[in-house]
Amino acid sequence: EVLQIEAVPCPVLALATPPRSILSALKQSLQSLTRQSDLSTLLDQTLLCLSQHFDIQHALLLMLDETGQCLYTVASHGYPVTGVGSEIALGQG
């Protein structure tokens, strides 16, 4: 038996973003990346493409060191501290 009903305020939900065309995003990204002429700009543009075309707001790009034992950060996006130069051994984390 229901004795009382109370209305409570409800926050308005944001509208869902329209679905992305992954092929279109990939095409736009590749067109942008193929125009880059140096590694630093290529890394920065890669992170920008991930953000703009794929809505990836936090990303790290890591490379394997010469010994093959460790990954090191070469670029980052979306973090308060870049972390460039930080290292992590394979199998850790």
Asked if 47 contacts 75 with a C-beta cutoff of 8 angstroms, the reply is yes
Has residue 77 been placed in a domain? yes
C-alpha neighbours within 13 Å on the C-beta side of residue 42 = 9
The number of folded domains in the chain is 1
Q: Is residue 50 part of a domain?
A: yes
Write out pLDDT tens, residues 1-56: 888 899 888 888 777 777 778 999 999 999 999 999 999 999 999 999 999 999 99
For 46, the domain range is 22-89
Rounded to two decimals, what is the model's pTM?
0.71
Assigned domain for 4 exists: no
Pairwise CA distance, residues 51 & 77, whole Å = 8
